[in-house]
């Protein structure tokens, strides 16, 4: 596959201008571009600028409100529910995470459940907003149904990711960001494009049988919860995905389970929805609400160094700390630029043409 | 294997008297028996009364303080750190969970990290304490190193479980309780006793190779994180186990990673420990800190009914809700009694003889 290298700054400017072109205010367009592009920087190419046209199509279908009145609809000292007013998740999520951080500053922790939102990019980006405040950040979201719970023929859950960002001292922060499935949907899309097989335990076909055909999910098949099958603990991945769904949507009044609206604009939204939009859940915990931050960070450094220096198994160089690969990719891409597949570059060029935004 | 049936009440009385015999106050002995026996009721036989002698041996080795001064050492409106003063985890954990619940009553949520504790039984029991208060409960704990992170030859994490209990309306509550490994250690012990093989993906041998020999963990092998191998997402199980370790121990000042003291009294405690005892982490979130409880519960009922009525795959009767199997076992065992393996019954008889407590 041929790829094009483009600087982060240039790509960011383009994305921001696209968001402005669909009617976002300048500051919100910048916020959305920050969140979206963090995926490209961190190497999660499936969730970054490759989805920009998808967001625009949602706007074209009237499912994204470019000038939302995002507001708190209920709160206590440590909690809030935010209504995203159908805004871009890329804008609603940073708003909600800031509230979690403010509440943590006041009473130790802050927890915000969000309804009436849209897809928010990568979970890790939002959790990481807490790091600069000497806080632990948590972020999760539900998503369109693609995953079959253990023993289910039907798709009832999204890939429902969980992210946890934890500051360290001299070491870089610990950043876990994981879909609650065996494999992320983005990895499946890569296999689909290559015409390659998927490993056993990633997907089932429309009859509920395990399959290695990555296209099965486009014909009624499903992704499998982390664990793959019952014997390997898929009921645990299912339970985790369910918790994400409940915290994100049932606490806030968003749609849940099979009723979560699809990301792609060509699929219809189900009738008689039980809630509003899709849901997210954010948390922030001040480190010094538990113990002095310097003490905590010294032990985080020791934790990280002990794990990183563990004896690796044959054929592996070292044990990784969650967040290591993404951080290394980000450092590289900030210097060298972000690689875009030719098909993505073409799509962006077309999108720019349509909206009157120059791509290069 | 021959088994003995014993009523819950009788077994509870025995356990309570054993805890009193090692010096616990009556109320604390009752609390400990409640927590311990909940494992037997719910079918998690590996974590129940079968471990009673293990707890007593820890006391004999001076590692359990039967009259602990359990206290809050730091707090904010929504957080606390509790020092368990080397008490039984079965007593320290209920104390800490009550603080989480009190804080949630006051400011919406409560989060408590605990150091200087011991093993606390099953994670789910503690999370479930929140249910009666119309709250969501969370519970996690670190444990002795048995698990090799992805790519690691060394055991650096415990089976580090996460439990989440969520109230519903007419439906029974959602209760997820999962070790962050492919298989719980208790399941491995059963295979070891039977001389049976383990599935691929549960364990690695001392050289870090995948093996089906369940005894490999007794010769330098390790349990594997949920996912099993990198291709099936073991880095996610590792990240989750790591988060449990950090929330439980680095926020509180307990030991972490490879330094967590072993449950079995015959293994030495490492020198130069970085913390005190083992660590737990508890959370409570008031439902009505987010939305009216009746509304939430109505949607929980709808969620549960939709998932439970999903079309099952061939060979399976139905899709389960987390907590279903344990609740059914509890109902049965409360009526019919708790089955004890002959070897466990003998061990308890001996224990009773030593401490002057009648077993039957």
Across the interface, of A233, A256, A313, the residue whose CB is closest to B182 is A233
Mutation target to probe the B interface, by most B beta carbons within 10 A, among A174, A206, A249, A250 is A250
B-chain residues near A307 (CB < 8 A) = 149, 152, 156, 242, 257
Q: What is the largest CA-CA distance in chain A?
A: 55
As beta bridge partners, residue B181 has B225
Task: Please state, as a whole number, how many other Cβ atoms lie within 10 Å of the Cβ of residue B196.
Answer: 10
**Average pLDDT, integer, range B282-290:** 98
Mutation target to probe the B interface, by most B beta carbons within 10 A, among A101, A252, A310 is A310
The reply to whether the predicted model has a pTM over 0.95 is yes
CA A144 to chain centre: 13
Distance, CA of B183 to CA of B189 (rounded, Å): 11
- pLDDT per position as a tens digit, B211-224: 999 999 999 999 99
Across the interface, of A79, A109, A237, the residue whose CB is closest to B111 is A109
Using CA atoms, how far residue B115 sits from A279, A300, B163, B255, in Å, is: 34, 16, 19, 8
Mutation target to probe the B interface, by most B beta carbons within 10 A, among A76, A241, A283 is A76
At residue A3, the pLDDT reads 86
**Does residue A249 contact residue A142 with C-beta atoms inside 8 Å?**
yes
Name the pairing type of β-strands B79-83 and B109-117.
parallel
pLDDT mean across residues, chain B: 96
Distance, CA of B162 to CA of B239 (rounded, Å): 13
- pLDDT per position as a tens digit, A101-131: 999 999 999 999 999 999 999 999 999 999 9
Across the interface, of A79, A245, A299, the residue whose CB is closest to B109 is A79
The ipTM is: 0.98
pLDDT mean across residues, chain A: 96
Using CA atoms, how far residue B158 sits from A37, A251, B259, B340, in Å, is: 36, 31, 10, 26
Instruction: Name the percent of chain B lying above pLDDT 70.
Output: 100
Does B300 score more than 80 pLDDT?
yes
Instruction: Look at residues B160, B14, B30 and name the one whose alpha carbon lies nearest to residue B94.
Output: B30
- pLDDT per position as a tens digit, B27-73: 999 999 999 999 999 999 989 999 999 999 999 999 999 999 999 99
CB contact under 8 A, B285 and A208: no
At residue B264, the pLDDT reads 82
Instruction: Look at residues A15, A33, A30, A48 and name the one whose alpha carbon lies nearest to residue A339.
Output: A48
Distance, CA of B284 to CA of A275 (rounded, Å): 24
Distance, CA of B342 to CA of B345 (rounded, Å): 5
Mean pLDDT split into 10-residue runs, chain A, 360 residues? 89 98 98 98 94 96 96 98 98 98 98 98 98 98 97 97 98 98 87 90 95 94 96 97 98 98 84 95 98 98 98 96 98 97 94 95
Q: Is the dihedral of CA A183, A189, A194, A195 positive or negative?
A: positive
The angle subtended at Cα A249 by Cα A246 and Cα A253, nearest 5°, is 130
**Could you tell me how many CB contacts below 8 A there are between chain A and chain B?**
256
Distance, CA of A254 to CA of A280 (rounded, Å): 9
Q: Would you state the torsion angle of the CA atoms of residues B20, B22, B25, B29, taken in this order, to the nearest 10 degrees? A: -50
Across the interface, of B152, B227, B322, the residue whose CB is closest to A313 is B152
Does B272 score more than 60 pLDDT?
yes
At residue B1, the pLDDT reads 55
Task: Please state, as a whole number, how many other Cβ atoms lie within 10 Å of the Cβ of residue A99.
Answer: 21
Q: Name residues whose C-beta falls within 8 Å of residue B152's C-beta, 6 or more positions apart in sequence.
A: A307, A310, A311, A312, A313, A319, B208, B222
**Does residue B229 contact residue B204 with C-beta atoms inside 8 Å?**
no
**Does residue A250 contact residue B300 with C-beta atoms inside 8 Å?**
yes
CB contact under 8 A, B149 and A178: no
Nearest chain B residue to A248, by CA = B290
Structure tokens at B77: 């409106």
- pLDDT per position as a tens digit, A291-310: 999 999 999 999 999 999 99
At residue A190, the pLDDT reads 82
A-chain residues near B74 (CB < 8 A) = 290-291
Across the interface, of B76, B209, B239, the residue whose CB is closest to A322 is B239
Using CA atoms, how far residue B136 sits from A308, B123, B290, in Å, is: 35, 14, 11
Structure tokens at A83: 């209504």
């Amino acid at each position: 596959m041929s790829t094009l290298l483009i600087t982060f700054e240039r790509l960011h400017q383009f994305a921001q201008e696209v968001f402005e072109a669909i009617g976002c205010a300048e500051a919100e367009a910048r916020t959305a571009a920050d969140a979206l592009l963090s995926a490209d920087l961190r190497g999660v190419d499936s969730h970054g600028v490759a989805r920009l046209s998808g967001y625009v199509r949602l706007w074209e279908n009237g499912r994204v409100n470019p000038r939302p009145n995002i507001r708190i609809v209920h709160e206590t000292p440590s909690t809030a529910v935010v209504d995203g007013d159908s805004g871009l998740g890329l804008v609603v999520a940073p708003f909600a995470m800031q509230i979690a951080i403010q509440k943590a500053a006041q009473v130790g922790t802050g927890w915000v459940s969000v309804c009436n939102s849209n897809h928010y990019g990568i979970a890790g980006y939002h959790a990481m907003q807490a790091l600069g405040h000497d806080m632990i950040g948590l972020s999760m979201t539900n998503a369109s149904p693609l995953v079959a719970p253990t023993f289910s023929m039907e798709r009832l859950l999204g890939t429902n990711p969980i992210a946890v960002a934890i500051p360290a001292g001299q070491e870089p922060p610990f950043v876990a960001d994981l879909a609650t499935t065996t494999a992320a949907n983005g990895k499946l899309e890569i296999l689909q494009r290559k015409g390659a097989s998927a490993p056993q335990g990633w997907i089932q076909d429309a009859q509920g049988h395990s399959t290695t055909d990555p296209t099965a999910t486009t014909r009624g098949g499903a992704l499998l919860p982390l664990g793959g099958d019952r014997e390997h603990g898929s009921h645990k991945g299912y339970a985790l995905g369910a918790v994400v769904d409940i915290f994100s949507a049932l606490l806030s009044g968003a749609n849940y389970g099979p009723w979560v609206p699809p990301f792609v604009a060509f699929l219809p939204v189900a009738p008689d929805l039980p809630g509003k939009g899709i849901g997210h859940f954010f948390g922030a915990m001040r480190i010094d609400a538990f113990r002095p931050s310097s003490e905590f960070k010294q032990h985080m450094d020791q934790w990280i160094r002990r794990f990183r220096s563990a004896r690796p198994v044959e054929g592996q160089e070292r044990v990784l700390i969650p967040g290591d690969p993404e951080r290394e990719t980000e450092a590289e891409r900030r210097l060298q630029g972000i690689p875009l597949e030719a098909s993505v570059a073409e799509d962006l060029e077309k999108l720019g043409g349509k909206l009157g935004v120059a791509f290069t």
